[in-house]
């Protein structure tokens, strides 16, 4: 069986912050399980975009705004992925503009069912203990559901990655619970992706 590919999408404007740290915990576990892993940084991807925001210039989407751009490369990568781990800091109780933009421009992928049955999970970090983490995770879930992805949640007991996903309070390096749950999420995404390989038409 070919190796699985698990891709983390970092929606934080800070490429080395709390979100990056937690995503790496999850990817490290995926690698330990035997997967190939990659990280995409939304902030870097949009540097060559004249207009980073989707303006719905065509329906259905033709993807002309990102042709021969970094975003096209990013979409090609996630179209080959068996699992995606979305990460975002909490901004006003929801995801960052960078992550939202990444998926607002992904309508062509949805039309082509590129992410159908790809396994996904969500990781976030907020400034306070009850700082909008769950609503941010739910926003990422909504994005994944629109693409027809399979969402990983609570695995019960020793496989509990959180009811909805891994949620941290900054600084993430000091949140042992979030670190553990991020690693469990990586393990769960790998396991579910391996079990559902035949559902993804590649």
For the segment 46-94, what is each residue's pLDDT rounded down to a tens digit? 999 888 889 888 888 989 989 999 999 999 999 999 999 999 999 999 9
The CA–CA distances, whole Å, from 64 to 54, 69, 182 equal 11, 10, 36
pLDDT of residue 40: 98
The CA–CA distances, whole Å, from 181 to 109, 130, 151, 162 equal 30, 17, 15, 6
Model pTM greater than 0.85? Answer: yes
CA distance linking residue 155 with residue 162, whole number of Å: 8
> Which residues 6+ apart lie within 8 Å of 131 measured at CB?
90, 169
CA distance linking residue 182 with residue 149, whole number of Å: 19
Domains of the chain (ranges; CATH) run: 5-196 (3.40.50.360)
Q: Which helix (H) or strand (E) holds 52?
A: none
Q: Which pair of structure tokens corresponds to residue 4?
A: 């699985």
For the CA atoms of 172, 175, 83, 80, the dihedral, rounded to the nearest 10 degrees, stands at 20
Give the three-state DSSP class for 1: coil
CA distance linking residue 120 with residue 83, whole number of Å: 6
More reliable by pLDDT, 151 or 161: 151
pLDDT of residue 163: 76
For the segment 177-197, what is each residue's pLDDT rounded down to a tens digit? 999 999 999 999 999 999 999
For the segment 103-139, what is each residue's pLDDT rounded down to a tens digit? 999 999 999 999 999 999 999 999 998 999 999 999 9
Q: Quick one: pLDDT band at residue 26, thresholds 50, 70, 90?
A: very high
> Which residues 6+ apart lie within 8 Å of 143 measured at CB?
86, 95, 103
pLDDT of residue 115: 98
Q: List, as one string, the DSSP characters of 100-133.
A: HHHHHT-HHHHHTTTTTT-EEEEEEEESSTTSSH
pLDDT of residue 151: 97
pLDDT of residue 23: 98
Q: How many CB atoms lie within 10 A of CB 174?
A: 10
More reliable by pLDDT, 124 or 154: 124
């Amino acid at each position: 069986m070919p190796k699985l590919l698990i891709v983390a999408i970092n929606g934080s404007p800070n490429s080395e912050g709390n979100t990056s740290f937690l995503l790496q915990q999850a990817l490290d576990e995926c690698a330990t399980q035997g997967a190939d892993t990659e990280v995409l940084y939304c902030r870097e991807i949009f540097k060559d975009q004249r207009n980073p925001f989707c303006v719905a210039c065509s329906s259905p989407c033709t993807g002309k705004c990102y042709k021969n751009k970094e975003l096209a490369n990013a979409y090609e990568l996630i179209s080959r992925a068996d699992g995606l781990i979305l990460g975002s800091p909490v901004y006003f109780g929801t995801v960052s503009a960078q992550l939202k933009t990444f998926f607002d421009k992904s309508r062509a992928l949805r039309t082509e069912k590129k992410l159908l049955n790809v396994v996904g999970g969500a990781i976030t970090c907020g400034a306070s203990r009850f700082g909008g983490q769950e609503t941010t995770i739910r926003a990422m879930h909504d994005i994944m559901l629109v693409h027809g992805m399979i969402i990983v949640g609570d695995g019960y007991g020793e496989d509990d990655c959180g009811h909805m996903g891994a949620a941290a309070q900054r600084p993430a390096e000091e949140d042992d619970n979030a670190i553990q749950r991020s690693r469990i999420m990586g393990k769960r995404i790998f396991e579910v992706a391996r079990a559902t390989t035949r559902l993804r038409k590649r």
